[in-house]
Chains A and B, each alone.
Chain A
Amino acid sequence: MNKSLFKKITGNQMFIPLVALLLLAVINLIVDPGFFKVSMNTNNAGNPVLSGYLITILDYGSELAILAMGMTLVTAASGGQDISVGATIAIAGSAMLRVLCGTNPRPEAIQAPIIVAFLVACLVGMLCGAFNGALVSIFKIQPMIATLVLFTAGRSIAAWINVNKLPIVPDPKFAYFGGFIPGIPVPTTVFIVLVCIIVVALVLKFTNLGLYTQAVGINEKSARLNGINPTFIKFLSFVILGLCVAVAALIKVSRLSTINYSVIAKDIEMDAILAVALGGNALSGGKFNMWASVLGAYVIQFLTTTLYKFNVQSDALAAYKAVVVILLVFFSAPKVREYLSAFARRFSSKSKQRESKGEA
């Protein structure tokens, strides 16, 4: 009875990210109890805002959470990951700035409404997604290799869109998306993530997208025999990821009101894939749990913030994360789990033998 409950808890997909989150929280609590303090400060613009490490995590984890949602779908449907998300964020962001600023990198006022720029970015993001999706679904190229094309070209294309200039958006309203709206102390990004989560939840609830994606991911041939078009589902998952990329690009560009082609969203693909893996989703496709991935994204941001707090250089951060990834995939690999459970069984049977001997 106890054992089945234990298994139920450890078997839940939310288990790994939650344990990781608890572990990180406890470590931080021991090292610095002030980590969880949230205080009300006034920011540069004179508005009251919440600040503290927790708020930082919620704020800066939002791009990752949004990307993790799209990445989960792509992973589930195609059994591979999109490694071009960082580069496509640069493209979408660059397109957004091109629309907002026109050809002049230092305009007096924005040249087009923000919503138009955002819609253009969405279109560009979806086009990039469609390109990747077409290579994967129609030409049957492995996802990671197909997305290698945009990964290589993305930042160059982004620089080309703005002729390598770095436009600065003059409108302070544009900075609201990645910062704070005056009068509201909670970061705007939190609301953006909430909206995305609600939309995705509604889509998953009222359409067959989730079911079809899992079916294609588990067995493409039988999905086809059941009347699902695997080519379309895979294509669609990449287009949806493209949309997520556009939203993430809006936040990223809005944070600085400008762009740095070679640095923006650097290495974010690694974090997004890590989020999906941490959420307990099989990287080889099939069943998925969207919310575990989102939780995974915040856990990674938690880890990043913690490492920064310990004065780890941003370039060295990758080495620590790599160790986490290896440990994570190592212990979630079916092979290792088999070994472990076999070992546990032998151990328990031995102790049982000992018990029975003691009774005799």
Chain B
Amino acid sequence: MDSKKLKGGIFNKISDTNLLLVITIVIFLLMYIGAIVFQGSGFKKPQMFFNILNANAALIITAIGMSVVMISGGIDISVGGVVALVSMCCAVYLDKANGNVWVSMLIAIGIGLAFGLVQGTLVAYFDIQPFIVSLAGMFFARGMTTIVNTKPFNVQNPAFVKLKETRIKIPGMGSYNKKGMYISAYIEIGVVVALALVVILFLVLRYTKLGRSFYAVGGNKQSALMLGINVRRTKFLSHVICSLMAGIGGYVYFLNVGSGAASHASGMEMNAIASSIIGGTMLTGGVGNIVGTLFGVLSLSTIQNIVASAGLGEAWWTGITIAGMLCLFLLIQSIVIRQKKRALKT
């Protein structure tokens, strides 16, 4: 929807995508600066920020995949299950079968693709509601995880452990600990993968025909069809990309935790959806931005860190704050849409 032609109202000067993106980035910055001012020490260190990245690399990857699917008007709640399944399968392969690290990456991508192909086919070519399909996918993945292996265990495969402990040092961002030792700031490999994928997907969505057709299909299926876009194939590909991202995200998650367990990544699908929404992706489709999603993940984890360091250590506060934030952004979206509609009418 190009709203630049509409007259009047500050809302209409910028497009939906940019408006929601701006809101997200401003809120994130306010939150982070607020945290630095009011809670001091911890947030001042650059490593705090990198820790947020390290812990959430997998979430960033799954969330940007989720954004693609949401922009094209669908939804996929199986990503958390896929992440759990990927980490369990890779863990079993590496530890029990003493497998190769590179092959385990292929397994992760393969599982992601398999889920994407099946779910995409059901949604795009058989017109079944994406929510129901991916709900079943989620339960299938979670169930399969338990069937593959019931007990959680740590992976001791030396090649994998070496890869897991690889740290990329960032010069000039370190800090001194209490003993005065200099500790340089670092990020894990997963973060590099995540940021690379963010850039790639951002460029794809922005500059390729396929990327634009995601927006077109999500915005208005009928008009997209009339423009000669293959709506079914676009929908299908959006699900394939989402599940593929979940597969890669699963491997990054696995790289971060280094173990397989059926309870891994529980609720991750909700965090991914929440991050996308906070990042300005509209549920109704057609509006969204990958960079926004990145900021959505960062806002989400910053607020978790704030809650944790504000002494509200009890686990329930995290759930409540995330839900509260999600609710707030949903309401903002709802109001923005309403304003737009009103502006269109007059």
Contact = CB atoms under 8 A, between A and B. Distances in A.
A315 B122 CA distance: 25
A4 interface: no
B126 A160 contact: no
B283 A319 contact: no
Interface in B310-328: 314-320, 322-324, 326-327
Contacts of B330: 135, 139, 141, 145-146, 149
Interface string A301-318: 000000000000101111
Interface residues of B, number: 47
B139 A321 contact: yes
B143 A322 contact: yes
**Overall SS of chain A's interface:** helix
B127 A318 contact: no
A149 B330 CA distance: 9
Contact of B136 (A284, A316, A322): A322
Nearest to A284: B129
Contacts of A159: 314-316
A321 B141 CA distance: 11
**Overall SS of chain B's interface:** helix
Interface string B283-327: 110000000000000000000000000000011111110111011
Contacts of A148: 270, 273-274, 326
Nearest to A339: B126
Contacts of A183: none
A333 to B, nearest CB: 5
B320 A149 contact: no
A207 B329 CA distance: 37
A313 B142 CA distance: 12
A319 B274 CA distance: 25
A325 B320 contact: no
A223 interface: no
Contact of A152 (B125, B139, B284, B322): B322
B133 A326 contact: yes
A151 B125 CA distance: 30
Nearest to A269: B135
B117 to A, nearest CB: 14
* Interface core residue of B132, B277, B320 (most chain A CB under 10 Å): B132
A29 to B, nearest CB: 26
B150 interface: yes
B128 A322 contact: no
Contacts of A151: 270
Contacts of B274: 148, 152
Interface in B143-159: 143-144, 146-147, 150
Interface in A114-171: 135, 139-142, 144-146, 148-153, 155-157, 159-160, 164
A335 B322 contact: no
A320 interface: yes
A336 B121 CA distance: 12
B132 A329 contact: yes
B331 interface: yes
B319 A155 contact: yes
Contacts of A150: 323
A273 interface: yes
B307 to A, nearest CB: 11
Given A283-B132, A322-B140, A315 B262 contact: yes
A149 B327 contact: yes
A284 B316 CA distance: 34
Interface of A: 80-81, 135, 139-142, 144-146, 148-153, 155-157, 159-160, 164, 267, 270, 273, 277, 283-284, 313, 315-323, 325-326, 329-330, 333-336
21 contacts: A80-B131, A135-B330, A139-B330, A140-B334, A149-B327, A152-B322, A153-B319, A155-B316, A157-B319, A157-B320, A159-B316, A270-B139, A315-B150, A319-B140, A322-B136, A322-B137, A326-B136, A329-B129, A330-B126, A334-B127, A335-B125
